[in-house]
């Protein structure tokens, strides 16, 4: 990295212990930020802390009180927030006639409800002029069979982000969404109801349908996150940026 866009800034990442969140944590730290991050696995949190020097807090975003507690701990140790990246999420595929209430709640409680309350918890501690970035999904705008519950959560998140952007504009806090296409992250292997063979079949299909004929890397999405969180994006708020190899646009 040759830039130092986040020197002296405190960046908080929900779900920063693997995949896109970890790549972003590494890049934020490389550009001078103090990083605090959360995750559910103590093992991967410890590894992330070793890689990035971050304050790693064990927390489940499905629990709004845990998110608020994690924010409080980070602020006490690293000071007020300048950037909040809300990245934690879970996947899940099921045909509409097989969706149960429990399946619906498990996904919505993290991907939508949890994300909303994580952002809300950060607001009192976020400096005016700061930035919030949510991780969305191209699934929010595509009719992918089996993806109804996940897509509903991410579509809701797009709406929430735009309203956050409008309400926080007087504080000059910018709020944006980064929506990855198929990306090599552990989320591929955390899809309830899907066998390993089904996951590999899905990955092969995705490679074929992406115009660039490959699956993205976490750092390719993280670069977009850092851009939207930086002063380089000072006149950008309320957008949903697709990082998807052309899957939606082409």
* Neighbour tally for 125: CB within 10 Å: 19
CA distance 55 to 202: 35
State the DSSP code for 82: E
User: pTM of the full predicted structure?
Assistant: 0.93
Report which of 88, 65, 63, 64 is spatially closest to residue 12, judged by C-alpha positions. 88
CA nearest to 12, candidates 101, 66, 73: 73
Contacts of 45 (CB under 8 A, 6+ apart): 17, 37, 38, 39, 56, 57, 58
Q: Which of 233, 248, 225, 241 is nearest to 14 (CA)?
A: 225
Give the separation between CA 239 and CA 93, rounded to whole angstroms: 26
Rounded to an integer, the average pLDDT of 79-105 is 96
Determine the 3-state secondary structure of 137 from DSSP. Answer: coil
Across the chain, what does the average pLDDT equal? 93
Q: Is the pLDDT of residue 1 over 50?
A: no
Q: Is the pLDDT of residue 189 over 70?
A: no
**Residue whose token pair is 């109804």:** 148
pLDDT of residue 192: 57
Decide if 120 contacts 109 (C-beta within 8 A): no
* Beta-bridge mates of residue 241: 178
Q: Which residues are catalytic?
A: 150
Has residue 70 got a pLDDT over 60?
Answer: yes
Residue 207 has pLDDT above 90, yes or no: no
Q: Which domains does the chain have, with CATH numbers?
A: 10-243 (3.40.50.720)
pLDDT for 191: 58
Q: What would the two tokens of residue 139 be?
A: 């699934």
pLDDT of res. 204: 78
For the cut 60, the answer to whether the pLDDT of residue 161 exceeds it is yes
**38, 44 contact by CB (below 8 A):** no
* Percentage with pLDDT > 70 across the chain: 95
Q: What is the pLDDT of residues 125-158, one digit of tens each?
A: 999 999 999 999 999 999 889 999 999 999 999 9
Residue 199 has pLDDT above 80, yes or no: no
Under a CB-based contact definition with an 8 Å cutoff, are residues 13 and 225 in contact? no
Query: For residues 204 and 196, what is the distance between their CA atoms, to the nearest angstrom?
Result: 12
Instruction: Compute the average pLDDT of residues 108-132.
Output: 98
Contact 178, 225 (CB under 8 A): yes
pLDDT score, position 133: 98
Q: What is the distance between the alpha carbons of residues 118 and 106, in angstroms, rounded to a whole number?
A: 16
């Amino acid at each position: 990295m040759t830039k130092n866009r986040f020197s002296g800034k405190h960046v908080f990442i929900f779900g920063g212990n693997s995949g896109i969140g970890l790549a972003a944590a590494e890049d934020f730290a490389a550009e001078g930020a103090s990083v605090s991050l959360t995750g559910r696995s103590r093992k991967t949190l410890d590894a992330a802390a070793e890689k990035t020097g971050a304050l790693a807090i064990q927390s489940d975003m499905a629990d709004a009180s845990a998110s608020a507690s994690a924010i409080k701990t980070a602020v006490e140790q690293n000071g007020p927030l300048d950037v909040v990246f809300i990245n934690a999420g879970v996947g899940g595929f099921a045909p509409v006639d097989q969706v149960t209430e429990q399946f619906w709640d498990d996904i919505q409680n993290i991907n939508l409800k949890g994300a909303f309350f994580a952002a809300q918890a950060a607001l009192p501690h976020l400096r005016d002029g700061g930035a919030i970035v949510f991780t969305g999904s191209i699934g929010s705008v595509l009719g992918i069979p089996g993806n109804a519950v996940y897509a509903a959560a991410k579509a809701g998140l797009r709406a929430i982000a735009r309203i956050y952007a409008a309400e926080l504009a007087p504080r000059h806090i910018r709020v944006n969404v980064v929506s990855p296409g198929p990306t090599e992250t552990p989320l591929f292997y955390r899809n309830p109801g899907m066998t390993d063979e089904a996951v590999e079949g899905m990955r092969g299909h995705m490679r074929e349908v992406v115009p660039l004929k490959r699956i993205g890397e976490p750092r390719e999405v993280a670069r977009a996150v850092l851009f939207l969180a930086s002063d380089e994006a000072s006149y950008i708020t309320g957008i949903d940026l697709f990082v998807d190899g052309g899957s939606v646009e082409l």
